[in-house]
Amino acid sequence: MILALDSSQSAGSIAILNDGKLLYSAYFDIRITHSETLMPAIDFAFQLSRLDKRELKAIYVCLGPGSFTGLRIGIASAKGIAFALKLPVYGYNSLEMLALNCLPTAGKILVVNDAKMQECYAALYDERLGELQTPEMLSPAEILNWDISGAIVSGSAMQLFTPYQKDYHLDFAPPWQNIPRAEALYYLQEYKAPQIWQPETLKELEPFYLRDSTAQIKARQRQKR
Same fold, 2-94+180-224 and 102-177: yes
CATH match of 102-177 with 3.40.50.800: no
Residue by residue, DSSP assigns 147-211 as --TT-EEESTTGGGGGGGHHHHT-EE--GGGS---THHHHHGGGTSPPEEE-GGGGGG-----SS
For the domain made up of 2-94+180-224, give the CATH fold. Answer: Nucleotidyltransferase; domain 5 (3.30.420)
Bridge partners (DSSP) of residue 196 are 90
What are the pLDDT digits (tens) for 193-204? 999 999 999 999
137 in Cβ contact with 120 (< 8 Å) = yes
Residue 6 in 3-state DSSP?
Answer: strand
Q: How far is CA 107 from CA 8, 104, 154, 179, in A?
A: 26, 9, 13, 20
Q: Rounded to an integer, what distance in angstroms lies between the CA atom of residue 114 and that of residue 160?
A: 9
Q: Residue range 29-56: average pLDDT?
A: 91
Identify whether the C-beta of residue 120 lies closer than 8 Å to the C-beta of residue 96. no
Task: Supply the mean pLDDT for the chain.
Answer: 92
Please give the DSSP secondary-structure letter assigned to residue 66.
Answer: S
Cβ contacts of 10 within 8 Å, gap of 6 or more: 29, 31, 67, 70
Ranges of each domain in the chain: 2-94+180-224, 102-177
Q: Is the pTM of this model over 0.75?
A: yes
Residue 106: predicted pLDDT? 82
* Residue 30's pLDDT band (cuts 50, 70, 90): confident
- In terms of DSSP bridges, do strands 109-114 and 89-92 run parallel, antiparallel, or are they unpaired? unpaired
Q: Which of 84, 94, 107 is nearest to 168 (CA)?
A: 107
pLDDT band at 223 (very low <50, low <70, confident <90, very high): low
Q: What is the pLDDT of residues 105-153, one digit of tens each?
A: 889 999 999 998 889 999 999 999 999 999 999 999 999 999 999 999 9
- Contact yes or no for 17/23 (Cβ under 8 A): yes
